[in-house]
Amino acid sequence: MKFVILFLFIIVLFAAAITLGANNDQTVTFNYLIAQSEFRLSTLLAIVLGTGFVLGWLITAVFYLRVRIKLTAVQRRLKKIQKQYDDEVASHRKTQLTSSVPTLPQQ
């Protein structure tokens, strides 16, 4: 089901790109910091949208990786604390068992 939805989304996106490309074939001058160039409007739109998409994914990936690293560190710390807790509970039970063992009166 997920594959079908993704496939339909890609088809719709491709159809929109073809429509934009067919309707925007005029040439425009694009001034950027270093120089200027002549581009077809559809090509310029594709470059700008693609660059924005890639930058958005990169920024999202940075935040995602930072959260995953924090999660791993917290899970490691939790595991360590859980082991300490289990050891203390086991030693506490052991001391309770040894102290509750009745001793024989000595003669």
pLDDT recorded at residue 20: 74
Domain assignment present for residue 53? The answer is yes
Contact 38, 27 (CB under 8 A): yes
pLDDT tens digit string along 55-107?
999 999 999 999 999 999 999 999 999 999 999 988 888 887 666 656 666 66
pLDDT recorded at residue 67: 97
Domain assignment present for residue 40? The answer is yes
Domain assignment present for residue 3? The answer is no
Question: What does the DSSP assignment read for 1-17?
Answer: -HHHHHHHHHHHHHHHH
pLDDT recorded at residue 97: 67
pLDDT tens digit string along 17-55?
788 777 778 899 999 888 999 998 888 888 888 899 899
Q: What is the pTM of this model?
A: 0.60
Strand partners of residue 37: 30
Residue matched to tokens 């999660």: 71
Mean pLDDT, rounded, for 1-21: 83
**For the chain, what is the domain count?**
1
Range of the domain at 18: 11-85
pLDDT recorded at residue 71: 98
